[in-house]
Chains A and B, each alone.
Chain A
Amino acid sequence: MKSLSEIETTSKRASRAVGFSWGVAEEVGKSIRLLELFNFPGIKHLNKYYQLKDKEKLEKISLIKKDNKGQKLSFCPITLGVNFLDQSRTLEIHKKCTFKKIAYPILFLPFLSRSSEVIGKKILFKFDNNEFLLNYNVNIFSNYSKKEFPSIAENVEVTFLDNEDTFTDTEWKNLYKLSENTFVEETDSLKQSAAGAGLTDND
């Protein structure tokens, strides 16, 4: 088994070798490490992409908008990923961004995961019938189950989820009420003596 350190170093060097700058190559190294840590086939898809990179021209998006459509080609997942990560704070205001055709979409995934941590919001990544919930770069929840990842995602949606509770007020209140059963009712004597601060702290 390869260690994550080996995965990161080799991905970084390979990315530099195919023409990305060292700074971008560092980002790819971290991202592939993350994919493999979460058990996604990062090395496999990076390899597929780099084996075809000379033959398969991809569009390099720079400034990301709400809706993004390439001129003719699919978007390069790495250039898109790095720019998305860099611009995530400004993209957040759109609530949702769409992309037509992203090549090797799994390679875009770790950049979204890291963006989720940067902006402090969960991000939902949807394409075809696949959904990925990026939870602050702590984990990735998905309905993807061991099936082959596509080499192109046709219609992609990236949604910034508002920080909202997943439960109702009633559910919370019921649970809170139960939790109160661990509290002790304070008598007058306890009120006088059990708190750390004095009662005359406004003199």
Chain B
Amino acid sequence: MNVELRDPNIIMKLSRLGSFHQSKLSFLRSFLYEFKDWDYKRDLFDLDKDGFGVVVYSFKKRERVYSLICFANKIKDDERSDRVIATKWDAAFTLHDGVPDKNDIDRLKKEVPKQEVGRLSYKELTLSRANKSVRVFDHVVESLSNGVQPNLELLEKVGYLYRTTAVYGSGKFGLADRFRIKNRKEINGPFRLEMMLVYLVRQFTFDQVNHVAKMKNPNKAVKLDAKICKNLGIGNSTGLGMAPFIVNHPTLLNNWILCRETALKKIREIKNVNNEDSILFKNCVRDSIKNITSWNTESEYQQKKIKHLLNDVRKFTDFVEKKFDFKKDYPFNEIYLWLEKETCDECIEYIVSIMMEPYNEIIEPLIKQMSSEEERYFNIPTDRTTDELRKIIEKKYSNILSINFKKEENFKKFWFISKNKEEPRLADRFEEQGSELEQPLAIARDIKRLHDKLTLLKTDLTIDKFLIDNSDLRHVVRRAFIIEKFPYSEIQDNTISEKIVPIDMLRLKLSFFGALKFDPRSDKWLRICMFQGAPLPEELKNYDEQWVYKSHS
């Protein structure tokens, strides 16, 4: 049986992309898998009694070493902010390529805590900072120093001791460009070193909290129980900064989605599912319900989605446990068709993610295809013709072409870069100033404009001739030729509509990171948790791959 890949016109809608969940393809899970046999070490631990100072961790395999350097700083409570305008943080981190010497640490000590206004070098790969969840951190210190474990209810509610507020890589602020490291075998998936940084930061939070508690009461203090550590992740506050990324990297976006879609297609095409695999799938669905019931948010938008998801997953569990026979041919195809008919988008994508769990042999080769050599597709094929271009647009952007951009509601918003923080922002073009400096992120509007122009042409031109008088459309001409080869490279939605929910764009990216418990704080930023339930570094050599569904057991 041949199952078709799902239609980009459905999958690439923002509401659908905003319903994606972590899966075996997610970067934090593939990072753990890749680095499971590396040697983990805490190389330096130089903190004072209050937990301020320098700590270095490393992953090593043969001659290759990656070192996380952590700088823990004292800040006043009123200086602590998750917003991008902050200038001080409880801790700042960089992932260094190799073993840092004293000069490196001295140099980085001056730069890393400054974050965006500091300068890194080609020897550094990623940069980040994080703030304590003061309430949780202080409670844990207090409890441990008194010889008792902390209140699990409080820990479960928050889920982490620290939350990062940005993680930078790929050449930002002088960090190494990707081309320097892209051929390393261990970095054959996107954001792998960003994931390593976050994972090691998680370990730093445990070591720091244990240290402070011990210093406070050396005779009585106990260590945070390993099982509790495992159930804690790292929080993250994410704003609009990452939204344009998925528009600006079309072939990369395509590869992420195409791998997910290919995985689903191959799983639906499995004729006979063995007993072991069907049990694993059903167990994961059952276990995962705890992730939904412990998903806390004050966002009404998300609460509604969680409620529907929980209802539908329970309905699905009932169906698959009581009414479904895995012995029939192509069972996952039947399950998928049932989901499409009976459940909401959020539930469909949730179960699609879990379908991947039994199938390492399908997923592992796909992980290696999730990066992109973007430069290869940058040049416009200017020997092609305007007729060909028009046909591509009509085929690949059919839904986009039906949007009426004369209506104010359809072009109400504009994306711009803030002068203060050089970060992307979204505003109302009819109420705010600055729309003349709009970023090229209104792809739907510009594609429509390009199509209108092409339709009015009286003769068929080669693209080089067309571009002479239509330079303003060059960026979308390039994109149209990209989507011809990469069907999932474009969001099939209007990113400047009055109704746009920008956190859908964030959610898409964060789901591929492997984040859990999306907690929207507005329509423009959200909090998440990463690595909750993940094995601790000492456990990596032999860990349960389905840890993500067992964080509360």
User: Is A43 on the interface with B (CB-CB < 8 A)?
Assistant: no
- Total contacting residues, chain B, CB less than 8 A: 35
Per-position contact with B for A8-43: 1 when CB-CB < 8 Å, else 0?
A: 000001000000111110110010000000000000
User: Is A47 on the interface with B (CB-CB < 8 A)?
Assistant: no
Interface segment among B304-312, B471-479, B506-514: the answer is B471-479
Shortest Cβ distance from residue B498 to the other chain A in the assembled complex, whole angstroms: 23
Residues from chain B with Cβ under 8 Å of A82 in the complex: 471
Who on chain A is nearest to B463 by CB?
A86
Interface segment among B13-21, B108-116, B374-382, B399-407: the answer is B374-382
Per the bound structure, the CA–CA distance linking A82 and B470 in Å amounts to: 13
User: Is B118 on the interface with A (CB-CB < 8 A)?
Assistant: no
A30-B378, A86-B382 are known contacts. Are A5 and B177 too (CB-CB below 8 A)? Answer: yes
A30-B378, A87-B382 are known contacts. Are A6 and B475 too (CB-CB below 8 A)? Answer: no
A3 engages B175 (CB within 8 Å): yes
Interface hits, B164-180 → A, CB 8 Å: 170-179
Per the bound structure, the CA–CA distance linking A127 and B256 in Å amounts to: 46
Shortest Cβ distance from residue A30 to the other chain B in the assembled complex, whole angstroms: 6
Per the bound structure, the CA–CA distance linking A118 and B376 in Å amounts to: 11
A83-B468, A86-B382, A86-B463 are known contacts. Are A3 and B475 too (CB-CB below 8 A)? Answer: no
| Those 3 A-B pairs whose CB atoms lie nearest each other, nearest first | A23-B474, A5-B171, A3-B171
Per-position contact with B for A66-99: 1 when CB-CB < 8 Å, else 0?
A: 0000000000000000110111011000000000
The A interface, classified by DSSP as helix, strand, loop or mixed, is helix
B468 engages A23 (CB within 8 Å): no
User: Is A161 on the interface with B (CB-CB < 8 A)?
Assistant: no
Residues from chain A with Cβ under 8 Å of B39 in the complex: none
A89 engages B379 (CB within 8 Å): no
User: Is B122 on the interface with A (CB-CB < 8 A)?
Assistant: yes
Residues from chain A with Cβ under 8 Å of B175 in the complex: 3
Per the bound structure, the CA–CA distance linking A23 and B382 in Å amounts to: 14
Residues from chain A with Cβ under 8 Å of B177 in the complex: 3-5
User: Is B383 on the interface with A (CB-CB < 8 A)?
Assistant: yes
B474 engages A89 (CB within 8 Å): no
Per-position contact with A for B452-490: 1 when CB-CB < 8 Å, else 0?
A: 000000000011110111011111111000000000000
Per the bound structure, the CA–CA distance linking A139 and B440 in Å amounts to: 31
Per the bound structure, the CA–CA distance linking A28 and B383 in Å amounts to: 21
A23 engages B121 (CB within 8 Å): no
A26 engages B475 (CB within 8 Å): yes
Contact of B382 among A6, A62, A89 (CB under 8 A): A89
The B interface, classified by DSSP as helix, strand, loop or mixed, is helix
Contact of B121 among A1, A13, A114, A117 (CB under 8 A): A1
Shortest Cβ distance from residue A152 to the other chain B in the assembled complex, whole angstroms: 24
Contact of B171 among A6, A20, A24, A89 (CB under 8 A): A6
- Total contacting residues, chain A, CB less than 8 A: 27
A114 engages B379 (CB within 8 Å): yes
Number of A-B contacts (CB under 8 A): 75
User: Is A147 on the interface with B (CB-CB < 8 A)?
Assistant: no
A1 engages B172 (CB within 8 Å): no
A22-B475, A26-B475, A114-B379 are known contacts. Are A4 and B464 too (CB-CB below 8 A)? Answer: no
B379 engages A21 (CB within 8 Å): no
Residues from chain B with Cβ under 8 Å of A24 in the complex: 471, 474
Per the bound structure, the CA–CA distance linking A22 and B172 in Å amounts to: 21
Residues from chain B with Cβ under 8 Å of A2 in the complex: 174
Residues from chain A with Cβ under 8 Å of B462 in the complex: 90
Per the bound structure, the CA–CA distance linking A118 and B462 in Å amounts to: 16
Shortest Cβ distance from residue A8 to the other chain B in the assembled complex, whole angstroms: 8
Max chain B CB contacts within 10 Å: which of A20, A21, A63, A85?
A21
Per the bound structure, the CA–CA distance linking A123 and B375 in Å amounts to: 21
A5 engages B172 (CB within 8 Å): yes
Given contacts A2-B174, A23-B478, 20 further A-B contacts (CB under 8 A): A1-B174, A3-B122, A3-B175, A5-B171, A5-B172, A6-B173, A13-B417, A20-B471, A21-B472, A21-B473, A22-B472, A23-B471, A24-B471, A26-B378, A62-B469, A86-B382, A87-B464, A90-B462, A90-B464, A117-B379
A63 engages B468 (CB within 8 Å): yes
Interface hits, A112-146 → B, CB 8 Å: 114, 117-118
Per the bound structure, the CA–CA distance linking A117 and B378 in Å amounts to: 12
B174 engages A3 (CB within 8 Å): yes
A26 engages B478 (CB within 8 Å): yes
B474 engages A6 (CB within 8 Å): no
B464 engages A86 (CB within 8 Å): yes
Residue pairs across A and B with Cβ atoms less than 8 A apart, 7 shown, are: A3-B172, A5-B170, A6-B172, A20-B471, A21-B475, A23-B473, A85-B382
Residues from chain B with Cβ under 8 Å of A22 in the complex: 440, 472, 474-475
Per the bound structure, the CA–CA distance linking A20 and B472 in Å amounts to: 8
